[in-house]
Structure 1
Amino acid sequence: MLQELTIKNFAIIHDLSLSFDRGMTVLTGETGAGKSIIIDAVGLLAGGRGSSEFIRHGAEKCVLEALFSIEKNPSTFELLKKYGVDTENKEVVIQRDIHHTGRSTCRINGRLVTIAILREIGESLIDIHGQSEHQELMHAERHLPMLDQFGNAELKKEKKDYQNIYVDYIRLKKDYDDWQTNEQELAQRIDMLTFQSNEIELAELVPGEEEKMEEEKILLSNHQKIVESLSVTYEALQGDEGNGIDFVGEAMSAIQNIEQYDETYKRIAEVIASSYFQLQEAASDVLKERDQLSYDEGRLNEIEKRLETIHQLKRKYGESVEDILHYYEEITMELTHLQNREVNFEQLENLLVERKKELLEKGKLLSKERKATAVKLEKAIQEQLNELYMDKVQFKVNFLNENAASEKTMIFATGIDQVEFYIAPNPGEPLKPLAKIASGGELSRLMLALKTVFSKTQGITSIIFDEVDTGVSGRVAQAIANKIYLVALHSQVLCITHLPQVAATADQHLFISKEIVGDRTETHVRALDETEKRAEIARMLAGSEITPLTLEHAKELKEMAQKEKKAVNK
């Protein structure tokens, strides 16, 4: 429920703080005092569209803040959890600043959120109904969601089961439609994949072969240089005249003659000896390598041609031979799938038929639940209309597709039903679409009847009625007051009203006035005590001149309202 509301620099409101109680609260006052401005502020906190025009003249920004208790609102808990907003104390603080540039800053429990998130969470907290909100009833597409909202757990389960199958059905249908409409594209795709597959297959690539051939190419390309270097190396080490190994051998012999005299000489002798034998081994290896070398120009050309083939494939299909082979595996699988498309298409077609059959069966079950729910809703609405002195009005939930679940049945995300509310305002008249024949007064009372029925299951923390009682009086006014109070038994209700009967029924009465402070107009609000309540109700009854008779009438109206409330509570 809405516990506190703070408004700063909003329209003609300079700085206003309000506290609200549970049950039914009415806001009354002279026209233009700012009653609807307060509701506009609440609407902005619920994610309504903001504008710099809301900012009080001369101010940089307006600041709106509200404190809600959400102890009995699980849907809000889930949304806050979804968006990572802390909810440990079971309270929600919403703040919205609107700057003169038109930019809005929104926070929930101190966390910055977008307008879209604010709206989603706000709609779970606040339900605002004004005279324009009656238009919801004028849109037939809103009638089915209203019916589903009234449904029990079984209906909701059937609807969820249906929608799960519907998602899969739509996916299959898209695949089916794509397959049918893209036949030419598929043929082109097959041609391209076939060419690519053949090109890679003919190359007979082997992992690692490119690296080996690059090494062999280097050797063949530098054959002469390698032979010359090996020959020079061998001659220097072990040539016929003055070679390095002989000189090292002479040094080794000389040092060995004195190694027994000192450990240092012995160590040097060991090093020279080791080098001598290593150089002999190296010379042998050099000679062997030189003698084994042979130049094959044909092999070099073959390698260069093979590497060029690999490079061309790499430009098309991957950065390495391994990547090309991986791509080959992928396109081979796709090609097999596409080449078997007739078999696959037939399987897809059969699966789509099966899924549609299953969907229609689920649609029938959902439709059955809806029709049972419609009977209960019709009865509940009729009872409420009777109490609103519309007992001659007939209300019916009309199913536009009575022959549901045939092959020609339209399938929607919501089910197979198309629903519209029908009424017959006068006896003897046929039922017709509500949107085409209902008057403004009838729409107002129909909306209130629906809200009375739905208030038990809707789970909204606060419901606001903004002058929904305009244009009625007498016993109808009292009936409307009773209905609003009945809604307040399940949800906190804030109601702007001009009807004394509605004001007399309220648990809390806030009086809105405007005053000139300095040279500026400001809105003020105060909670009325019992004496002030009677005086305000008397003003609503008689206008500006309050007499002892109107005060007595107001007192009587309050007493009657208390009796009505006791009767409702029973």
Structure 2
Amino acid sequence: MLAELSIKNFAIIEAITVSFEKGLTVLTGETGAGKSIIIDAIHLLAGGRGSSEFVRYGESKAELEGLFLLENNRHPCLERCEEFGIDASDGMVVLRRDISSNGKSICRVNGKLVTIAVLREVGRMLIDIHGQHDNQELMDEEHHQFLLDQYGASKTVPALEAYRELYGKYSALRKKIRQLSDNEQEIAHRLDLIQFQLNEIEEAGLEPDEDLKLQEERKEISNFEKIFEALQNAYNALNGEQRGLDWTGHAMSSLEDVASINETLKTMSENASNSFYILEDLSFQLRSQLDELEYDPERLNFIEGRLNEISHLKRKYGSTVEEILTYSAKIEEEIETLTNRESHVHNMKSELASLFKDMKIEAENVTAVRKQAAKKLSSDIHRELKELYMDKSSFDVVFGRRQGSKDDPELDGEKVKFTSDGADLIEFYISTNPGEPLKPLSRTASGGELSRIMLALKSIFSRHQGVTSIIFDEVDTGVSGRVAQSIAEKIYRVSVGSQVLCITHLPQVAAMADTHLFISKDTKKGRTKTSVKPLSDDEKIREIGRMIAGVEVTDLTKEHAKELLSLASSSKK
């Protein structure tokens, strides 16, 4: 949910900080007081298009900041933040945007500088702003399939996973066939290049870990004198009269004479014997090493040359000898494939045809599952529309297929384009009057009718979209009476268990609010300022009375407002 919003030097707002709660929050006030300006600020905070015109006159920049709390540790926003390297592990997301007077924006998410595109990606998972004339996701036919899949996720997700596993293999194989078939000249150039690379690697005759062994040997040869001197000194210290081994032998003999007296002397005698034999063995090793030592400057030159050769290959084919050998095996396989590509293409096409049969079955299963979900969705939306007094309306989910090109596979005699989401082309259709044909939702008439349609859809999809905050900007325009009351109840129902912010001119909607914020403006020292005030119970009565009657609020109007609040309270229960 949006917990706090801070706005500074934005349009006619000098500086305000507003705290929000869960449930339904309504924003009311006179026309022009700045209600929509607050929604504009939230829209920009979520990555909307900015402009220098938003900066308050005479100021250098506008500053917008919003704190969002994510109670669900599996919220999709957390995964998206992780993708962009943004730490949101504490379940808090702070969006900040500064718009300068020259029109440039600086965007941050949890203090990290981000592009406007990243801000938009994160913002759209936190905020869903819906206004009467907005081109929202629900009005975008390209998004209808995604919404349907979310609605029926319990069955569509497993079906899509099974399909996508085959689609991934199908796409990869199809791409490989295209690469082998399309351009003879490119293939010839590629073959020449990798054949040269393979020859160069093979001529080098590399062995696993050869560079590491050579580096070790080079180190030994380079330190020959130091090693020889150390071995000679150690050997001389042990061997010879009055040297280490001689004295250790004397100690061993002396202790052997008294070892049988007690256990302590026996242990000491054994330790002396062990030490003597260890040192004696060490002496033999030192002698052997000295005999084998040989300084060979030619060998050192060979090692240096060999390491330079390996280094040259590393710059081209891998950072280690193992990587070079792996690359060699890979291009050797590619050479074989390119050289015998006609045979490979033939085999791949057979494999592709077999894969397509399996993929087609899974795609048809996805379509069948979606049609089941569509049937249930239509029923749910009809119920929502009936509650909004549009019981004569008809809603349907229309299925088609994505039109393919000449290279795409055929289904029932027509070319069909398969994507990672299947081959379905899905669009929501609606008819608001009996006898009228169903038409695409995107071409439905505007006005109060459209507001009710969108609210019905939002009532369904808000449960499945996982958006933190839903904002309705005057979606109740053009309605009154019993329809207004129905809209109020519907908006409240959407807010249960979540957060809804709503700008409204309907007293019925205002009466349903859990929190009522009053937006006003006044003029001080020749400048207009907007302020936001949470209303007490008595102030709610007066404001709802103003919304009912206009400027003059009479005692009778107040009684009507009290009755409206009482009815709203009963409706909530």
Q: Give the TM-score normalised by the residue count of structure 2.
A: 0.72
The answer to whether the 8 Å contact 1:34/1:513 transfers is yes
> Residues of 2 paired with 1:121 and 1:341: CA distance?
46
Could you tell me which residue of structure 2 aligns to residue 505 of structure 1? 512
| Cα distance in 2 for residues equivalent to 1:331 and 1:3 | 57
* One-letter amino acid matched to 1:72: N
Whether 1:469 aligns to 2:476 is: yes
8 A Cα contact 1:5 1:18, kept in partner: yes
Report the Cα distance in structure 2 between the residues aligned to 1:35 and 1:499, rounded to whole angstroms.
14
2:390 — aligned with what? 390
Q: Deviations over 1:82-104 (max 9, x none)?
A: 33433354322222222223232
Q: 1:469 to 1:194 in 2, by over 3 A?
A: closer
Residue 177 of structure 1, CA deviation: 2.7
8 Å contact 1:397–1:421 — kept in the other structure? yes
Residue 333 (structure 1) shift: 5.3
Residue by residue over 1:231-263, the C-alpha shift from the partner in whole angstroms, topping out at 9 and shown as x without a partner, is xxxxxxxxxxxxxxxxxxxxxxxxxxxxxxxxx
- Give, in angstroms, the shift of residue 397 of structure 1: 0.9
Residues 1:438 and 1:197: Cα distance change in structure 2 (over 3 Å): closer
State yes or no: 1:48 paired with 2:65.
no
- Asked if structure 2 preserves the Cα contact closer than 8 Å seen for 1:456 and 1:490, the reply is no
Of residues 400, 410, 428, the one that matches 1:421 is 428
Conserved in 2, the CA contact under 8 Å of 1:61 and 1:98?
A: yes
1:86 match: secondary structure: coil
In 1: Cα distance, 2:547 partner to 2:367 partner: 49
Judge conservation of contact 2:86–2:110 (CA < 8 Å) in 1.
yes
- Deviation of the 1:470 alpha carbon: 0.8
Work out the CA distance in 2 between the residues paired with 1:420 and 1:522.
45
Unaligned runs of 5+ in 2: 207-312, 404-409
Does 2:363 match 1:358?
no
Cα distance between partner residues in 1 of 2:535 and 2:373: 43
Please give the residue correspondences for 1:183-332 in structure 2 after superposition, counting only pairs within 5 Å.
Answer: 183=184, 185-186=186-187
Q: Which residue of 1 aligns with 2:152?
A: 151
Contact 1:13 1:522 in 2 (8 A): yes
Q: Residues 361-380 of structure 1 correspond to what in structure 2 (within 5 A)?
A: 361-380=361-380
Per-residue displacement from partner, 1:61-94 (whole Å, max 9, x unpaired)?
A: 1111222221236222323333343335432222
Contact persistence 2:447–2:477 (CA under 8 A): no
Counterparts of 1:410-449 in structure 2, within 5 Å, are 410-449=417-456
Distance 1:143 1:417 in 2: 11
1:556 and 2:556 aligned: no
Asked if the contact 2:132/2:450 (under 8 Å) is kept, the reply is no
CA shift in 2, pair 1:534/1:405, >3 Å? farther
- The match for 1:515 among 516, 522, 527 is 522
The equivalent residue for 1:67 is: 67
Query: Aligned partners of 1:69, 1:195: CA distance in 2, in Å?
Result: 58
* Cα shift at 1:169: 2.2
Question: In the alignment, is the contact (CA less than 8 A) between 1:363 and 1:405 conserved in 2?
Answer: no
Report if aligned partners of 1:382, 1:394 keep a CA contact under 8 Å in 2: yes
The alpha carbon displacement at 1:505 in A equals 0.9
Give the Cα–Cα distance (whole angstroms) in 1 for the partners of residues 338 and 537 of structure 2: 82
- Tell me the CA shift for residue 184 of structure 1: 5.0
CA contact (8 A) 1:126 1:460 kept: yes
Displacement of 1:512: 0.5
Q: Percent identity?
A: 52
Shift of the 537–357 alpha-carbon distance from structure 1 to 2, 3 Å rule, reads: same
State which drifts further: 334-343 or 385-394: 334-343
Q: Paired residue for 2:304?
A: none
CA deviations 1:393-431 (Å, max 9, x no partner) are 011111125999646444233212111112232223333
Counterparts of 1:159-170 in structure 2 under 5 Å?
159-170=160-171
C-alpha distance in structure 2 between counterparts of 1:330 and 1:93, whole Å: 47
Instruction: Give 1:120's aligned residue.
Output: 121
* Partner Cα distance (2:13, 2:194) in 1: 75
- Give RMSD over aligned pairs: 3.2
Code of the residue aligned with 1:411 in structure 2: it is F
Q: What CA deviation, in whole Å up to 9, does each residue of 1:105-136 have, x standing for no partner?
A: 22333333332222222222111111233554
Task: Find the aligned partners of 1:463 and 1:476 in 2 and give their Cα distance.
Answer: 21
Aligned equivalents of 2:121, 2:47: Cα separation in 1:
8
Q: Distance in 1 between matches of 2:59 and 2:184?
A: 65
CA shift, 1:166, in A, is 2.4
Distance in structure 2 (CA, Å) of the matches to 1:432 and 1:457 = 25
Q: Provide the C-alpha distance between the structure 1 equivalents of 2:446 and 2:68, rounded to a whole number of angstroms.
A: 36
Cα drift, residue 498 of structure 1: 0.8
Distance (whole Å) between structure 2 residues aligned to residue 188 and residue 513 of structure 1: 72
Residue identity matched to 1:548? D
Aligned mates of 1:80, 1:136 — CA distance in 2: 22
Shift of 1:477: 0.8
Is the Cα–Cα contact under 8 Å of residues 65 and 96 in structure 1 kept in the other structure? yes
| AA aligned opposite 1:388 | L
In structure 2, C-alpha distance between the alignment counterparts of 1:20 and 1:532, rounded to whole Å: 18
Match status 1:342 vs 2:342: yes
| Structure 1 letter corresponding to 2:15 | D
- How far apart in 1 are the matches of 2:123 and 2:139? 24
Following the alignment from structure 2 to structure 1, what is the Cα–Cα distance between the partners of residues 197 and 423? 47
Paired residues, what number? 450
Q: Does 1:460 align with 2:461?
A: no
Classify 1:494/1:333 alpha carbon distance in 2 versus 1 (closer, same or farther; 3 Å). Answer: closer
- Please give the secondary structure, in 1, of the residue aligned with 2:505: coil
Q: Distance in 2 between matches of 1:103 and 1:193?
A: 48
Alpha-carbon offset, residue 181 of structure 1: 2.6
* Residue identity matched to 1:17: T
Letter in 2 for 1:511: F
Contact kept? 2:546, 2:552, Cα under 8 Å: yes
Aligned partners of 1:50 and 1:16: how far apart in 2? 19
Q: For residues 38 and 10 of structure 2, what CA distance do their matches in structure 1 show?
A: 9
The alpha-carbon distance between structure 1 residues 361 and 563, as it changes in their structure 2 partners (threshold 3 A), is same
SS state of the match for residue 435, structure 1? helix
Q: CA contact under 8 A between 1:461 and 1:491: conserved in structure 2?
A: yes
* Separation (CA, whole Å) in 2 of partners of 1:61 and 1:385: 45
1:335/1:94 Cα in 2 relative to 1: closer, same or farther (>3 Å)?
closer
Query: Which is higher, the Rg of structure 1 or of structure 2?
Result: 1
Contact 1:381/1:450 (<8 A) preserved: yes
Q: 1:137, 1:443 within 8 Å by CA — same for their partners in 2?
A: no
Alpha carbons 1:455, 1:490 under 8 Å: kept = no
Code of the residue aligned with 1:420 in structure 2: it is E
Distance in 2 between residues matched to 1:356 and 1:127, nearest whole Å: 39
Structure 1 distance, partners of 2:332, 2:338, is 10
The 8 Å contact of residues 43 and 128 in structure 1, kept in 2 or not, is answered as yes
